[in-house]
Structure 1
Amino acid sequence: MKKDYSRRSFIRKSAFLSSMLIGGGFILNACNSSTQSTTESETASAPVDSCNDYSNVSDVELQKRESLGYVEETPIPDSDCANCQLYIKPNEGEKCGGCQLFKGPVFENAYCTYWAPMV
């Protein structure tokens, strides 16, 4: 029995495996993006009723907020979330914004130890 170790065979097998890996990546990415878009649209369609509504925020995220020193009223004049580079402005009809460092509602006049001035 003669084994086929030709360059042509190697290239054919490599091309086949590459296309399978790339195709599998596209399939997995498509599955993941459809799940994310559903979750994002559900979240985006439900406006935050109150800046104190933490019902959809996990305990881990609440602990992260606390560890970053988040307080609802800034102790430092002119250093609040509204003028922080990490602040996410509220959408129309929402009362509170967000933060790039943690999940959950954020007051405009709040503060955390990672405050970064807008540039």
Structure 2
Amino acid sequence: MKKILVIDDETIIGLSCERALAMEGYEVKSVLSGKKGLELLEEEPFGIILLDLKMPDMDGMELLKTIKEKWPETKVIMITGYASVDTAVTALKLGAFNYIEKPFDPDTLFNAVKEAGE
């Protein structure tokens, strides 16, 4: 079972993802900043990352680039409340596996994570 890391500055998103995915048997950790996410990634591997596009301490696209450079096998699913075709295309070009818009329901989350885990 792949471990999942949620990097999002909204506490409710991290908690919601943790609860929903844990009920499906995933091991999930969440952090509230890009910096904390990178620190945790240096300490332990994660198969899937749910990454917010806009955070106060670090741009999600820059963090995506760093993650794909250092851990190219890690699948990154971008999550954002500011969805646009341009940002989706940019994220996918930078190596994101998928891109989902907030608010999302548990089924959307499960499907994205399941696809990334295959």
TM-score, normalised by the number of residues in structure 2? 0.23
- Bigger radius of gyration, 1 or 2? 1
Kindly indicate which of the two structures has a greater share of residues assigned to strand: 2
TM-score, normalised by the number of residues in structure 1? 0.23
